[in-house]
């Protein structure tokens, strides 16, 4: 019997034992899992503690109060970088209504918590589960928000959230609650490019932060949740609704009585803008370019804005002001498109001897901090402004002269029968080089590039610092028919070689940067000058380019009373769109200054292009800005006359001196011989192609 019972019980006992072992095993796994989690928490805690203790917590207050100063070419203060800093004020200069409103909405336990809130963390954890692991924000104390805004990125991750909590604890140890609240209110963003409670009070109510009443203070606190959605200048109804909610929260937090809240709700909201950056963004595009250059030199953007540097620049405040005054005149710009879109434009003024950028305007319309700068970042076809660089300079270097006769005929080249045409549709048969350049004739330019060789032109461009893609290295490049684009800054640099007697210097905005301790952390020193052509070639090129403004395509752009050399350029739009252009350029110079100006729509299409040519587009802009700028330059004269007058001087009655005629006959005979040989060679080559 016992044996039978054992046999029946054995399977049951076995299963029970297996279950016990399984439970024990699972318990072991759970225990190890708990241990692993504890170890992970300990490791992360150690890591976050280390990160918090090694962060620049002690420097936050001084950093928020210190601004980077921009000095001009004469070491005079030109302004300061605004960045994420408003006008810093102490807590006693901030209305108690603002303080109470902010604490009531953002962190009721602010004065008693250790920098973080257990309830807030639990609330964040619940949100994490509800949103399937997505960090949605919220639950942060004022101290955590200060840590996030000053020491961390805005990216929502678990790692960043952990750092935020430990940094908040460290902040709470280093600073008093009054300091933390002060820093938070001075560092908060309030929309419309305004940082800090003092500037927000000026921007929206026209008063100091100390004068804000309960209604206004509630609106200030409301904007902390969403500056773009709750600011009264742009969304009055949203601001009113959120204000009333904040006032109710202040009542619940015993900061206002119900009667006081009701009175505040009844107060009309009047937006009064008395905000001024006090020269902080006086020259916004120049300052943007300074930041851009500093970051390329290895400086972090946050350091540039917050470390209290003194940045010594090449800015000429007079030049800069004159450029900005020109761009304030809407009447000189091409008309807007049918949908109201305005053409964009940019200009840059460069010292050809040193490469110092003296002034820049990077666009039209409202400026956005570190937004797109058309003067330094644009990549557009240069049109015919490429001709002096790719065609005429290398031609002079290869034996041609300013009065060499070029063929001006409509003809085709290569297997693809590339056929350049003159804009006027007329052809003279032959023209001197100076006429071809001044009148921007296309047929002679392509003919000449074909003679000297495309590679010669490409190599010449490279010396000017302009590189063409392999697919753009063809005859069409002579007219700017390239996919490669260049900026006004790049084109100004290239033309500076003509103004500087054949030598080129790298453009730069910054001379040196000095940190808050007085140590020079960047010194551009004396810029390196590189000779890319002989002085005689530069002089001869200048003589031809004076003709552009004297009797060529740039006549309407010529500044009254001044001699300027340079070139115009434009790129055509498809003929079915109508008569117009995509890009228009004028680049002009004297021995003292190079100015490169571009105009065109940001996006060119059938409804957005420039009607007509540069004569009625970019020309009036260039003329006005040069007439504003040139009186303030040293007004150094060119060491040459225009090529046309020199040619006429040599042959005033068509005969000239015997030696000149003999030289001309020999040269023209050689040119014709080259043409004949070239035609023979092309014919023979065609027999074998």
The pair of structure tokens assigned to 524 is: 């551009």
Cα 531 from Cα 183, distance rounded (Å): 53
Q: Identify the burial level of 683 via C-beta atoms within 10 angstroms of its C-beta, where 0-12 means exposed, 13-18 middle and 19 or more buried.
A: exposed
DSSP letters of 135-183? -------HHHHHHHHHHS-S---HHHHHHHHHHHHHHHHHS-HHHHHHH
Q: What backbone phi and psi angles, to 5 degrees, belong to 228? A: -75, -30
Compute CA distances 503 → 351, 500, 528, whole Å: 12, 6, 10
CA 398 to chain centre: 39
CA 656 to chain centre: 55
Kindly compute the dihedral angle of the four CA atoms of residues 435, 441, 443, 445, in this order, to the nearest 10 degrees: 70
Q: Where are the alpha helices (DSSP H) in 297-357?
A: 301-306, 317-327
Q: Identify the burial level of 446 via C-beta atoms within 10 angstroms of its C-beta, where 0-12 means exposed, 13-18 middle and 19 or more buried.
A: buried
The conformation of residue 219, written as its DSSP 8-state character, comes to: H
Q: What backbone phi and psi angles, to 5 degrees, belong to 191? A: 80, 165
Q: Where are the alpha helices (DSSP H) in 552-657?
A: 619-629, 643-650
Report the helix count and the strand count for the chain, using DSSP H and E.
Answer: 26, 15
Q: What backbone phi and psi angles, to 5 degrees, belong to 510? A: -105, 135
The single residue of 106, 164, 281, 572 carrying the catalytic annotation is: 106
Cα 184 from Cα 47, distance rounded (Å): 25
The single residue of 384, 460, 503, 596 carrying the catalytic annotation is: 384
384 classed as catalytic: yes
Cβ atoms of 442 and 459 closer than 8 Å: no
Strand pairing report for 69-71 and 77-80: antiparallel
Cα 614 from Cα 627, distance rounded (Å): 18
Structural element, H or E, at residue 524: none
The pair of structure tokens assigned to 137 is: 């924000």
The pair of structure tokens assigned to 620 is: 């009036």
Which residue from 482, 476, 488 is spatially nearest to 566, judged by alpha carbons?
488
Kindly compute the dihedral angle of the four CA atoms of residues 575, 578, 579, 583, in this order, to the nearest 10 degrees: -80
Cβ atoms of 602 and 564 closer than 8 Å: no
Q: Which residues are catalytic?
A: 106, 384
């Amino acid at each position: 019997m016992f044996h039978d019972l054992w046999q029946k019980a054995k399977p049951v006992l076995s299963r029970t034992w297996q279950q016990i072992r399984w439970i024990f095993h699972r318990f072991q796994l759970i225990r190890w899992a708990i241990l692993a989690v504890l170890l992970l928490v300990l490791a992360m805690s150690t890591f976050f503690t280390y990160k918090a203790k090694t962060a620049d917590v002690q420097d936050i207050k001084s950093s928020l109060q210190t601004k980077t100063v921009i000095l001009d070419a004469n070491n005079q203060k030109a302004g300061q970088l605004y960045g994420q800093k408003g006008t810093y004020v102490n807590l006693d200069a901030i209305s108690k209504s603002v303080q109470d409103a902010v604490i009531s909405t953002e962190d009721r336990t602010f004065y008693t918590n250790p920098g973080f809130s257990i309830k807030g963390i639990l609330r964040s954890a619940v949100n994490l589960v509800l949103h399937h692991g997505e960090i949605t924000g919220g639950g942060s104390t004022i101290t955590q928000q200060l840590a996030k805004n000053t020491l961390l990125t805005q990216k929502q991750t678990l790692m960043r959230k952990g750092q935020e909590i430990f940094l908040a604890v460290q902040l709470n140890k280093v600073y008093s609650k009054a300091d933390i609240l002060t820093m938070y209110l001075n560092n908060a963003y309030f929309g419309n490019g305004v940082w800090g409670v003092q500037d927000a009070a000026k921007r929206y109510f026209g008063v100091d932060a100390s004068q804000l009443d309960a209604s206004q203070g509630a609106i200030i606190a409301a904007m902390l949740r969403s500056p773009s959605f709750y600011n009264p200048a742009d969304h009055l109804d949203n601001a009113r609704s959120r204000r009333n909610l904040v006032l109710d929260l202040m009542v619940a937090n015993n900061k206002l009585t119900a009667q006081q809240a009701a009175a505040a709700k009844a107060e009309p909201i009047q937006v009064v803008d008395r905000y001024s950056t006090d020269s902080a963004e006086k020259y916004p595009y120049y300052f943007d370019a300074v930041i851009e250059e500093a970051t390329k030199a290895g400086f972090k953007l946050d350091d540039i804005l917050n470390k209290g540097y003194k940045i010594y620049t090449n800015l000429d405040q007079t030049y800069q002001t004159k450029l900005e005054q020109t761009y304030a005149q809407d009447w000189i710009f091409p008309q807007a498109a049918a949908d109201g879109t305005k053409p964009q434009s940019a200009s840059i003024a460069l010292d050809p001897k040193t490469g110092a950028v003296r002034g820049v305007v990077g666009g039209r319309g409202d400026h956005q901090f570190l937004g797109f700068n058309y003067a330094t970042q644009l990549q557009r076809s240069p049109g015919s402004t490429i001709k002096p660089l790719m065609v005429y300079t290398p031609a002079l270097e290869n034996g041609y002269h300013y009065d060499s006769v070029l063929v001006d005929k409509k003809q085709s080249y290569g297997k693809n029968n590339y056929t350049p045409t003159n804009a006027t549709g007329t052809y003279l048969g032959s023209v001197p080089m100076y006429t071809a350049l001044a009148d921007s004739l296309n047929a002679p330019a392509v003919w000449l590039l074909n003679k000297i060789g495309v590679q010669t032109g490409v190599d010449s461009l490279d010396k000017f610092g302009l590189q063409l893609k392999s697919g753009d290295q063809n005859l069409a490049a002579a007219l700017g028919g390239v996919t490669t684009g260049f900026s006004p800054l790049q084109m100004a640099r290239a033309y500076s070689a003509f103004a500087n007697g054949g030598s080129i210097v790298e453009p730069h905005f910054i001379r040196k940067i000095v940190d808050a301790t007085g140590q020079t952390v960047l010194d551009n020193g004396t810029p390196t000058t590189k000779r890319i052509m002989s002085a005689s070639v530069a002089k001869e090129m200048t003589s031809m380019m004076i003709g552009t403004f004297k009797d060529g395509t740039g006549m309407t752009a010529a500044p009254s009373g001044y001699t300027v050399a340079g070139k115009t350029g434009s790129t055509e739009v498809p003929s079915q769109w109508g008569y117009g252009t995509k890009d228009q350029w004028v680049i002009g110079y004297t021995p003292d200054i190079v100015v490169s100006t571009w105009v065109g729509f940001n996006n060119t299409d059938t409804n957005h292009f420039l009607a007509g040519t540069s004569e009625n587009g970019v020309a009036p802009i260039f003329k006005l800005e040069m007439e504003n700028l040139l009186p303030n330059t040293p007004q150094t004269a060119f060491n040459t006359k225009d090529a046309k007058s020199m040619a006429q001087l040599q042959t005033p009655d068509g005969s000239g001196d015997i030696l000149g005629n003999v030289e001309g006959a020999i040269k023209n005979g050689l040119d014709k011989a080259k043409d004949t040989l070239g035609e023979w060679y092309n014919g023979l080559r065609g027999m074998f192609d």
